[in-house]
Amino acid sequence: MDIAIQIIWLFVLAIPIACVSWTVTHEEIFKEPREWCVKHSKYDKKIWSRKAFYLFTCEYCFSHYVTIAFLIFTNYKLLLNDWRGYVLAGFSLVFMANAYMSLFALLRQAIKKEKVEIEKIENETDSEKLSI
């Protein structure tokens, strides 16, 4: 595969990896299983059990396993056409997916801040109308 195509695959393939990782570790649809995993990651007696449950609560950790699944599914390799290509692709995809998730988190935070500011302005405007 041409290097340009490999780079395009890197940027595109990181998107669904980020999407799956973010959804499982942050969104409401997986809230109950995630809370169950958080409880076990904090209070289980065995360290391996705590670590196993923790990886479902951390987007960075979980993105490694999602990446492995996508590498198996797509047979994507980066730069080299042997096992080393899988390793390079895996760490590169994890990096890109986590960059996407960080950008998404910043975007969500900015949107939430704007909503709060708009609500505050609306409340002030409503209270001014009532006082007049």
- pLDDT > 70 in the chain, percent: 98
d(CA 16, CA 66): 9
- Mapping DSSP to helix (H, G, I), strand (E, B) and coil, where does residue 92 land? helix
Angle at 105 between CA 94 and CA 49, to 5 degrees: 55
Q: Tens digits of per-residue pLDDT, 59-115? A: 999 999 999 999 999 999 999 999 999 999 999 999 999 999 999 999 999 999 999
Q: Where are the domains of the chain?
A: 3-101
Q: What is the pTM of this model?
A: 0.81
